Amino acid sequence: DSVFAAIAQAPEDPILGVTVAYNKDPSPIKLNLGVGAYRTEEGKPLVLNVVRKAEQFLVNDQSRVKEYLPILGLAEFNKLSAKLILGDGCAAIEENRVATAQCLSGTGSLRVGAEFLAKHYHQHTIYIPLPSWGNHLKVFTMAGLSVKTYRYYDPTTRGLNFQGLLEDLGAAPAGAMVLLHACAHNPTGVDPTLEQWEQIRQLIRSKGLLPFFDSAYQGFASGSLDADAQPVRMFVADGGECLVAQSYAKNMGLYGERVGALSIVCKAADVASRVESQLKLVIRPMYSNPPIHGASIAATILKNSDMYDEWKIELKAMADRIISMRKQLFDALSARGFT
């Protein structure tokens, strides 16, 4: 008999399981609404032109080797990623107060951040919005944090339960961590206004809570990289500390390349440097060092101004099309009497 004979069949992941069911379904008019991956008008995955260009550039560069990256990944990718989310001329970057690690897309960045917090932060409770991306609960729990929720979505208004959010974060114990979706809240699509973000910021800072931003959709909510990063930048501009997990899965269409970064913004350069040294100890036994290819694509695009401009145009086209598809779906449902 197998030594594993007693192992029970695990359920499919609720989101990825939809893809499994989708692939099995023979219907010619099927649509996969499970995993949030961009599709063209023809329902096909899209590789951005600028990504193809960057890959071509990398292939032609004969000096490139396949050596291991350092534990924290590609240094120039990390610098450019921090700049992308925190903004050009960000004081925290200029003052060397940001520790960044290249991680395995958004999920890996959240997990490394969570493991770091579980090991080094005095509070172990993290508040996530209700509802939230289904994996948040599992990522944080597996890392040893204790997860609580704060009210976020109000089904009656189909908008933000702002009062509930303020009450729940207001009642959180001092020092607790708060997971915030930087933009394009998943699964509701409801984001606070900038005025509401400002109130959230004041509350979080006055209570000494620690914000952890999940930025999986920078550029996808509005079509503008800067507009979508505004909430994160408000928190960094006040000089306080926070964590940011970035993913390039959606905005560069690099899903399977697993390209992302964790940045920990600190109050002082010496703290950031010690934090960085500890991030290495978290990562080394987990996967030793991150993969080179996807991060090289992203870094190539981010550092070349022509490619960067081309990326912004392609990104805006994806965002605009998503916004228009949603409007069309809404109008079609309304016309059929759904309210």
Residues labelled catalytic: 133, 214, 250
CB 15 to ligand PMP: min, Å: 7
Measured from the Cβ of residue 258, the count of other Cβ atoms closer than 10 Å reads 21
Identify which of residues 16 and 268 has a Cβ nearer to ligand PMP in the complex: 16
Residues 79-118 that bind ligand PMP (CB under 6 A): 105-107
Answer for the pair 245, 100: CB distance below 8 angstroms, yes or no.
no
Identify which of residues 134 and 208 has a Cβ nearer to ligand PMP in the complex: 134
Rounded Cα distance between 252 and 261, Å, is 14
Q: Among 295, 304, 233, which Cα is nearest to 101's?
A: 295
Verify binding: residue 133, ligand PMP, rule CB under 6 A: yes
Verify binding: residue 214, ligand PMP, rule CB under 6 A: yes
Tokens of 231: 């909430």
Rounded Cα distance between 263 and 102, Å, is 9
Identify which of residues 161 and 247 has a Cβ nearer to ligand PMP in the complex: 247
Verify binding: residue 211, ligand PMP, rule CB under 6 A: no
> What is the x/- site pattern for ligand PMP, positions 140-159, by CB under 6 A?
--------------------
Answer for the pair 111, 165: CB distance below 8 angstroms, yes or no.
no
How many CA atoms within 13 Å lie on the side-chain side of 169? 28
CB 185 to ligand PMP: min, Å: 8
Rg (C-alpha) for the chain, rounded Å, is 21
Identify which of residues 53 and 181 has a Cβ nearer to ligand PMP in the complex: 181
Residues 267-326 that bind ligand PMP (CB under 6 A): none
Q: Among 283, 233, 251, which Cα is nearest to 119's?
A: 283
CB 283 to ligand PMP: min, Å: 16
- Residues touching ligand PMP, count (CB under 6 A): 13
Residues 251-270 that bind ligand PMP (CB under 6 A): 255, 260
CB 222 to ligand PMP: min, Å: 16
Give the amino acid at 29: I
Residues 30-59 that bind ligand PMP (CB under 6 A): 36
CB 106 to ligand PMP: min, Å: 3
Rounded Cα distance between 1 and 60, Å, is 53
Answer for the pair 152, 130: CB distance below 8 angstroms, yes or no.
yes
Measured from the Cβ of residue 240, the count of other Cβ atoms closer than 10 Å reads 18
Which residues here bind ligand PMP, judged by CB under 6 A?
A: 36, 105-107, 133, 181, 186, 214, 216, 247, 249, 255, 260
